[in-house]
């Protein structure tokens, strides 16, 4: 099997230099806009290891998804506000704020209660996997992972999430 180093290394996406033209996220809270079911899936990769982050980004880009890397746990809330991801791919072990504490913080925001969070980690401990799911995560994938498995796990979770939110939006429109 090829090593991660043999893959092309795409640049890490960073926030745009110019401010977005949308209303600032700090404005009055509002429901997220409905997402066009045909638009590319948006994934926020939270990973402090650059090689691992670029591997996941490359795999997801190859499957036609938009993948933004955030290597600093403290910048995750801003990245969520700016990029409005369909899913967060979260590392468990990071300096400072670990993935479980970060997940708990994300879940405190009512608009992010249903945002799928999938952990991708090399920690094989089944007890740790339970703790991760108990912290509010939706799924737990272990490294090393085959690219096909990563794409399928992420795409299936986003597809169901979008179908669920479409149903919610239609339910609101019908009431």
Q: How far is CA 86 from CA 17, 28, 76, 169, in A?
A: 23, 22, 14, 16
| CB contact at 8 A, 114 and 29 | no
Which three-class secondary structure state does DSSP give residue 49? coil
* pLDDT tens-digit readout, 61-115: 999 999 999 999 999 999 999 999 999 999 999 988 999 999 999 999 999 999 9
State the Cα–Cα distance between residues 13 and 157, nearest whole angstrom: 23
Structure tokens at 73: 């746990």
What is the DSSP pairing of strand 42-46 with strand 139-142? unpaired
The pLDDT score that the predictor gives to residue 23 is: 39
The pLDDT score that the predictor gives to residue 69 is: 97
State the Cα–Cα distance between residues 21 and 36, nearest whole angstrom: 19
């Amino acid at each position: 099997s090829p090593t991660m180093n043999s893959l092309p290394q795409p640049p890490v996406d960073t926030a745009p230099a110019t401010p977005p033209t949308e209303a600032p996220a700090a404005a009055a809270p509002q429901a997220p806009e409905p997402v066009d079911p045909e638009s590319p899936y948006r994934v926020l990769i939270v990973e402090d290891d650059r090689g691992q982050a670029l591997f996941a980004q490359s795999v997801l880009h190859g499957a036609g998804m938009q993948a933004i890397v955030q290597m600093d746990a403290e910048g995750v809330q801003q990245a969520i506000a700016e990029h409005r991801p369909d899913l967060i791919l979260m590392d468990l072990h990071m300096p400072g704020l670990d993935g479980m504490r970060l997940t708990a913080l994300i879940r405190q925001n009512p608009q992010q209660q249903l945002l799928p969070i999938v952990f991708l980690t090399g920690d094989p401990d089944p007890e740790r996997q339970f703790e991760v799911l108990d912290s509010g995560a939706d799924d737990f994938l272990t490294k090393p992972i085959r690219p096909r498995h990563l794409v399928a796990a992420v795409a299936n979770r986003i597809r169901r999430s979008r179908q669920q939110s479409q149903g919610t939006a239609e339910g609101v429109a019908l009431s």
